[in-house]
Structure 1
Amino acid sequence: MALSEHEQRLLDQLEQQLHADDPKFAHSMASSTSRSMSTRRIVIGSLVTIAGVAVLLLGIWNQFIPVGVAGFLVMGAGVYYATSKTRLDGAAPNSGKGAKASSSAGGGFLSSLEEKWDERKRDQT
């Protein structure tokens, strides 16, 4: 469903506001994400998960609890590996300072959006 001209203008204004308030965040959202799902990880994780289920069933069939628990852990590790995302750029995760700075910038952005929303509501009535 296409946006009307008015909605498109509002969306453009919001995008410009985002670029002005937090250019780093806007750039990260515009480009492809630095973390993405890998088909290779999904396949390997799925195979490990299947192996974990097999070990779990083997432990249940032999009534040997440690083997069943180990199978469950292998199964969980396979699911975790398959669903976790890889970092493409190899950079280290952000420190606490970066996270605090982005959250404070986000608060300013949201408050300015709320002010503009209230102003538009007042203009319509």
Structure 2
Amino acid sequence: MSSVETRQVDRDSLLLIAEVRIDGGEKCHRVKVRNLSSGGMMAEAELKVARGALVTVDLRNIGPVEGSIAWIEGNRFGIAFLEEIDPKLARAPVGTTANDLSSPRFTRPALDKTDPRKLRAI
């Protein structure tokens, strides 16, 4: 994002876990994502970061996003993304189809019982 004031940008408050890689290093660090917007995020972790450091954040349902450390306050820090994302994708359930049996049943959408073609014959 540019150096324009971005405090008025809509952001979603949430709690997700993400992986952060600092300055192209090999080690990934787990962080809590406290809020997320199209242009950046606030993360929380016991992690030493420097303002301006380049990072790559692996966000659920979005994938790797490049950015830089914009601010640091205690164990929380802001990351400004280089390119905008759709933050609503991170909120979407991981298993989004009823036929996807790789995720637990409680994470899959309910069956549509109004459509007889989707019901199983017993």
TM-score, structure 1 normalization: 0.19
The structure whose Rg is larger is 1
Structure with the bigger percentage of strand = 2
TM-score, structure 2 normalization: 0.19
Structure with the bigger percentage of helix = 1
With a CA cutoff of 8 Å and minimum separation of 6, indicate the structure with the bigger relative contact order: 1
